[in-house]
Structure 1
Amino acid sequence: FGKTVPDISLNAVANLGYADCRFLKPVFAGDTISTTSEVIGLKQNSNGKTGVVYVRSTGVNQHGETVLDYVRWVMVRKRNLDAPAPDTVIPDLPSHVPVDAIGLPDGLDFSGYDTGLAGSPHLWDDYAIGEKIDHVDGITIEAADHMMATRLYQNTARVHFNLHAERDGWLKERIVYGGHVISLARALSFNGLGNACFIAAINGGQHTAPCIAGDTVYAWSEVLDKAEIKGRRDAGALRLRLVATKNHPCGDFPDKGADGKRLGDVVLDLDYWAVMPRRN
């Protein structure tokens, strides 16, 4: 993601969402990752001052092997407000990554998985479709923490760092990088999904509201689906919906109001496949 920022979202207003994200090969310390992006969609917003750009980005390692392929869309400012709007092109994106497209790393074997050492007794077999899990804990975002994390992600977008400029913006503060919010929500989810060992694919997701320093992030999950992985008896896939909020504990599973509109304190809605050990 960070490697796409200089070309796509250095001057963005906000990163909005993701789709069709496939983690195809594991990455290890010492690997070198490079990224290319293709613009696959454009849509000018009704205010005529901004628009949405859809891009497909592909990351490869030093051997030329694809490790990640995904689509995201970002809101950017229009350079010339008097220029005519481009033709609207909205890409046709899949609703989810097929489970048979999920690949497990070579050599991964959960047959001897020790739930005692893992700290959680719950495995793939124990979860039911439709089950909701309140992850209970909260994490307060500190300015130094989110800026340091954003640097480590090599995201250089100015809205995350320049308080002098952002004081004149709509939030009067630096916007927390959405990837940091995803990381916090994913970390919180281990309270209830302690053996969801890794994310195999992201089906879709949206940053539905911004966070700033001082906000406290909470999260809850819903099991949307579960599937066996072809040829594997030691592991299964859970399709999970991860919802994160700011300053709103999730015991009531906050989502949408009576009017059908998303609540303002919901900041993330992420749909992903997680791989989890099975009972042998």
Structure 2
Amino acid sequence: MKTNPGRFFEDFRLGETIRHATPRTVTVGDVALYTGLYGPRFAVQSSDAFARAFGYPRSPLDDLLTFHMVFGKTVPDVSLNALANLGYAEGGFRRPVYPGETLSTVSEVIGLKESSNRQTGVVYVRSVGSDERGETVLSYCRWVLVRKRDPEAAIAEEHVPSLAKVVDPQDLAGALPKLSAAAYDTELAGSPHRFADYAVGEKIDHVDGMTVEEAEHQIATRLFQNTAKVHFDGLAAKDTRFGRRLIYGGHVISLARALSFNGLANVFALAGINAGRHVGPLFAGDTVYAWSEVLACAEIGRDDVGLLRLRMVATKNQPCGTFPDRVGEGYDPAVILDLDYWAFVPK
């Protein structure tokens, strides 16, 4: 058999290493298409001149474009037969990536847990994205709910890993080159607010919304070479509980991040992912809104930047003026994403 149907839950082995196919050289064309799909306006990633004045050699990729490229490599081997991507933890953006660099991904299976119905199981992986020199640019853990090929198949070994609830901000301090806070032009960046202007507990409604079209989310997912059937195969999607194509959860993250410019324009680079959940599904025709909460402000021994720990919540078809959130043991029905991350802000 020369074709690959993808792995099912019983095909995974605890501790195995998966070297994913198709290294990807990221180009300025990819950057332009990403900008066209999501419309991010962060100055460091938009202008070589702005980035150089601040201390970069040129504009780096949007960190989420790096994330999607690294993530996309894993899909054929990890989540082609997944029903849902359940969560993220222990993410770290280890250095900026620039157009022309080639990214590859390797994953380790760090956990397996069969579902009680024996129809599915949760697969935990730690994925590491590297450049052509073998230097790590990104690492993160995620867990996915994967179908079983045979419900009666025995599972050799199960283990649920213990993952850190918060990435140590000091571990992220060295991810960026030395920058010049004095040279960061807040007028050109679109906001006067720097690190000291944010307070723990502050909530920010990002106000704007974006409606998702069918073509956009499919182009985006193809850009990342994410081959998951639930995003493309309308016939196969009819057999899921949703009965239609599901929008890639990373698409929601990028939309929410782009919307967060209105209120967090100077949060110019992601540093780490503490936790994340895709709370509900998103479909073409839905409109995405977002709000953020400042969870912590961290000094990291640098005089140019500090770190904000932010919780970003995205909703569908409901503006966020009332900050839709958790309700008891669940969530407001409008909530589709709950992401906890660290990000750099100039001082």
Shift of 1:122: 1.0
Q: Distance in 2 between matches of 1:144 and 1:122?
A: 36
User: What is the correspondence of 1:266-277 to structure 2 with a 5 Å cutoff?
Assistant: 266-277=335-346
Alignment of 1:80-119 (within 5 A): 80-102=150-172, 103-119=174-190
The residue number in structure 2 matching 1:197 is 268
Look up the equivalent residue of 1:131 and give its one-letter code: E
Alignment correspondent of 2:38: none
**Structure 1 position 74, deviation (Å):** 0.6
- Superposed counterparts of 1:2-81, under 5 Å: 2-81=72-151
Q: In the TM superposition, what is the alpha-carbon distance from 1:46 to its structure 2 partner? A: 2.1
Q: Which residue identity does 1:194 align to in structure 2? A: A
**2:242 alignment counterpart:** 171
Paired position in structure 2 for 1:212: 283
**Letter in structure 2 aligned against 1:149:** A
Aligned to 2:323: 253
In 1, the alpha carbon distance for the partners of 2:127 and 2:239 equals: 32
Distance 1:65 1:55 in 2: 20
Larger deviation, residues 131-140 vs 163-172: 163-172
> Which residue identity does 2:121 align to in structure 1?
G
The CA deviation string for residues 5-51 of structure 1, in whole angstroms up to 9 with x for no partner, is: 11101111111110000111211111111111110001112222111
Q: Aligned with 2:151: secondary structure?
A: coil
Equivalent pairs: percent with the same residue? 60
Unmatched tracts of structure 2, length 5 or more? 1-70
Q: Distance in 2 between matches of 1:14 and 1:6?
A: 14
RMSD: 1.2
Residue type of the partner of 2:80? L
Unaligned ranges ≥5, structure 1: none
Q: CA deviation at 1:212?
A: 0.9
State the distance in 1 between where 2:317 and 2:95 align.
36
As a proportion of its length, which structure holds more helix? 2
Q: Name the CA distance, whole Å, in 1 between partners of 2:256 and 2:171.
A: 25
Distance 1:77 1:277 in 2: 45
Give the TM-score, by structure 2 length.
0.77
Matched with 1:142 is: 213
Counterparts of 1:207 and 1:136 in 2: how far apart (Å)? 21
Would you say the 8 A contact 2:81–2:228 is kept in 1? Answer: yes
**Which deviations, in whole Å up to 9, do the C-alpha atoms of 1:100-131 show, x marking residues without a partner?**
01123224333211111111111111110001
Counterpart-to-counterpart distance in 2, 1:86 and 1:210: 32
Counterpart of 1:128 in structure 2: which amino acid?
A: A
Contact 1:219 1:242 in 2 (8 A): yes
Read off the aligned partner of 1:96 and give its amino acid letter. V
CA contact (8 A) 1:223 1:238 kept: yes
**Aligned residues of 1:44 and 1:86 also touching (Cα < 8 A):** no
Aligned to 1:154: 225
CA distance in 2: counterparts of 1:63 and 1:168, whole angstroms? 43
3-state SS of paired residue (2:100): coil
Aligned to 2:310: 240
Q: Distance in 1 between matches of 2:239 and 2:149?
A: 19
Q: Assess if the C-alpha contact under 8 Å between 2:179 and 2:304 holds in 1.
A: no
Does residue 120 of the first structure (1) align with residue 229 of the second (2)? no
TM-score under structure 1 normalisation? 0.95
Instruction: Indicate the SS of the match to 1:30.
Output: coil
CA distance in 1, matches of 2:236, 2:182: 54
**Matched position secondary structure for 1:159:** helix
Return the offset for 1:85.
4.6
